[in-house]
């Protein structure tokens, strides 16, 4: 698979300071979700600032689409069109008098014609669920709304790669989950997503690939399950394991569970316990999962399904789906981790409805199919 960004023996030192990065060599594949994980001072933010040329290596190279980044003004203009950066502190990124002007800043500076600017700004605000916020001053918004404006400003430039520095920092848990849901939407629209975090729980359930960093070096790269099950490696990185991993290790150590591959999430953990305690997983008696693409004139079909009393639980994945639920006054049971929660309900015999849109529909179908193959269960899936 082609690399979106590649770091080759990258070193960096701030003026009059020690090296912040020491020999970083990693490759990020196109379409991947990658989490840089490590404690404060690990060098995560410094590495992210290399992605769009904000910082230049003192040694080594950064490659974008296989070509080394050049640092003249014209080349950097193109790099920053392809790679969007969302800062940890949204206030550092928002400066215009209104939301519309803030989101339009990038497209205007790229030289887009006025009608094109209007189009891309409208689309970006729609994608992050901020239609109607165009005239509002950014400093009057909540933390989550500011983060969405910052993301919209990046999306308006139609980048191939989006880089987030600590995307959930200073957000309350519910808002943080909504932002991560939005990052999934961004990824399923075909973009590569890279983020930094010290939150192992977030990285464990979200990332395709984890890059574990400490003191300016890469300690290891791999799947979350592989890296976070290595106790010595986590200790070296000054991190604690995710709760699911910790509980699995304790139960395996006491002989309650066998020492097989660790579960990747609560759903897999539940199935593991059921299989080892009961000696099997129940193959039948499951509930159904309905999936509605809210971008496809689904309102009447959703109303009909809900009025039938067939569905016990409803979840919404993505900004559009949550806005649709609000417009239709649908009470949501699940607003994050929707697919796994609906699968858990299905195993208990309950029917669920997943509201989503675009590429997330295919992702939902694929995730359910993968679960059925892994577990041996048969769960009915209906697209409405």
Across residues 48-61, what is the average pLDDT? Answer: 96
280 confidence band (pLDDT: 50, 70, 90): low
47 confidence band (pLDDT: 50, 70, 90): very high
Across residues 99-111, what is the average pLDDT? Answer: 91
Residue 331 CA to residue 314 CA, distance in Å, equals: 7
Determine which of 101-105, 178-182, 332-336 has the lowest per-residue pLDDT on average. Answer: 178-182
Residue 234 CA to residue 240 CA, distance in Å, equals: 6
Length of the chain, in residues: 384
Closest CA to 382 of 348, 361, 184: 361
Q: Is the pLDDT assigned to residue 281 strictly greater than 70?
A: no
SS3 94: coil
Please give the residue that has the higher pLDDT: either 355 or 297. 355
Q: Is the pLDDT assigned to residue 275 strictly greater than 80?
A: no
Listed in sequence order, the residues at least 6 apart from 214 whose beta carbon sits closer than 8 Å to its beta carbon are 38, 39, 42, 236, 237, 238
Say what angle helices 266-278 and 243-253 make with each other, to 10 degrees: 20
Residue 207 confidence (pLDDT): 93
> To which residue do tokens 């933390």 refer?
143
Across residues 149-164, what is the average pLDDT? Answer: 93
Segment 297-351, tens digit of pLDDT: 899 999 999 999 999 999 998 888 888 998 999 999 998 889 989 998 998 889 9
Across residues 140-159, what is the average pLDDT? Answer: 90
Tokens standing for residue 217: 């070096």
pTM: 0.84
Of the chain, the percentage scoring pLDDT greater than 90 comes to 56
């Amino acid at each position: 698979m082609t690399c979106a960004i590649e770091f080759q023996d990258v070193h960096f030192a701030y003026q009059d300071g020690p090296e912040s990065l020491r020999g970083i060599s990693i490759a990020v594949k196109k379409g991947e979700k990658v989490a840089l994980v490590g404690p404060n001072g690990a060098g995560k933010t410094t590495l992210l600032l290399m992605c769009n040329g904000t910082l230049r290596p003192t040694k080594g190279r950064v490659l974008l689409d296989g070509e080394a980044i050049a640092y003249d003004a014209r080349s950097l203009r193109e790099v920053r069109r392809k790679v969007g950066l969302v800062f940890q502190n949204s206030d550092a990124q928002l400066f215009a008098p209104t939301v519309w002007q803030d989101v339009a800043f990038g497209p205007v500076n790229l030289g887009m014609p006025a009608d094109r600017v209007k189009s891309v700004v409208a689309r970006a605000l729609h994608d992050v669920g901020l239609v109607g916020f165009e005239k509002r001053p950014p400093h009057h918004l909540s933390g989550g709304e500011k983060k969405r404006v910052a993301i919209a400003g990046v999306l308006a430039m139609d980048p191939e790669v989006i880089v987030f520095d600590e995307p959930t920092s200073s957000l309350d848990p519910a808002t943080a989950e909504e932002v991560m849901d939005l990052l999934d939407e961004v990824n399923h629209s075909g973009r590569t997503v890279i983020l930094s975090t010290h939150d192992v729980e977030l990285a464990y359930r979200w990332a395709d690939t984890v890059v574990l960093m400490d003191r300016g070096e890469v300690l290891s790269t791999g799947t979350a399950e592989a890296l976070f099950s290595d106790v010595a490696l986590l200790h070296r990185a000054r991190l604690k394991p995710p709760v699911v991993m910790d509980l699995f290790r304790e139960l395996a150590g006491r002989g309650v569970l066998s020492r097989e591959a660790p579960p990747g999430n609560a759903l897999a953990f539940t199935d593991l316990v059921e299989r080892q305690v009961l000696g099997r997983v129940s193959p039948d008696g499951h509930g159904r999962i309905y999936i509605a693409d809210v971008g496809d004139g689904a309102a009447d079909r959703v109303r009909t399904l809900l009025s039938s009393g067939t569905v016990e639980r409803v979840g919404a994945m993505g900004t559009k789906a949550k806005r649709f639920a609000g417009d239709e006054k649908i009470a949501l049971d699940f607003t994050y981790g929707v697919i796994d929660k609906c699968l858990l309900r299905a195993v208990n015999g309950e029917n669920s409805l997943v509201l989503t849109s675009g590429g997330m529909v295919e992702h939902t179908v694929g995730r359910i199919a993968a679960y059925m193959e892994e577990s041996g269960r048969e769960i009915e899936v209906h697209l409405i």
